[in-house]
Amino acid sequence: MNVFLETLKIMVQGMAGIFLALSLFYIIIKFMVRIFPEDE
């Protein structure tokens, strides 16, 4: 049961971590596309 509870904790931390990392990537992509437009 302890292992199961640990996996639930990792589930919350893992999904939060993935969303956090990909949100950061989202901001960076938006930023890069804006400061380095195609017609530079």
Partner 1 sequence: MDQLFYGLNALSFPQIIMFIIGGVLIYLAIVKEYEPMLLLPIGFGAILANIPFSSAIGDEGFLTLLFKSGILTELFPILIFIAVGAMIDFTPLLQQPFMLFFGAAAQFGIFFTMAMAALFGFDLKEAASIGIIGAADGPTSIYVATKFARHLLAPISVAAYSYMSLVPIIQPPVIRLLTTPAERRIKMKPDFDVKISKTVLILFPIVITLIAGILAPISVALVGSLMFGNLIRVSGVMDRLSKAAQNELANLVTLLLGITIGSTMTAEQFLNPSTLLIIVMGLVAFIFDTAGGVIFAKILNLFLKNKVNPMVGAAGISAFPMSARVIQKMAQEEDPSNFVLMQAIGANVAGQIGSIIAGGLILTLVK
Binding site for partner 1 (CB under 8 A): 3-4, 6-8, 10-11, 13-15, 17-26, 28-30, 32-33, 36-40
The label of the residue with tokens 């990537």 reads 25
Residue 27 CB, shortest distance to partner 1, in Å, is 9
Q: What is the DSSP string of 1-40?
A: -HHHHHHHHHHHHHHHHHHHHHHHHHHHHHHHHHHS-TT-
Residue 7 CB, shortest distance to partner 1, in Å, is 4
Residue 23 CB, shortest distance to partner 1, in Å, is 8
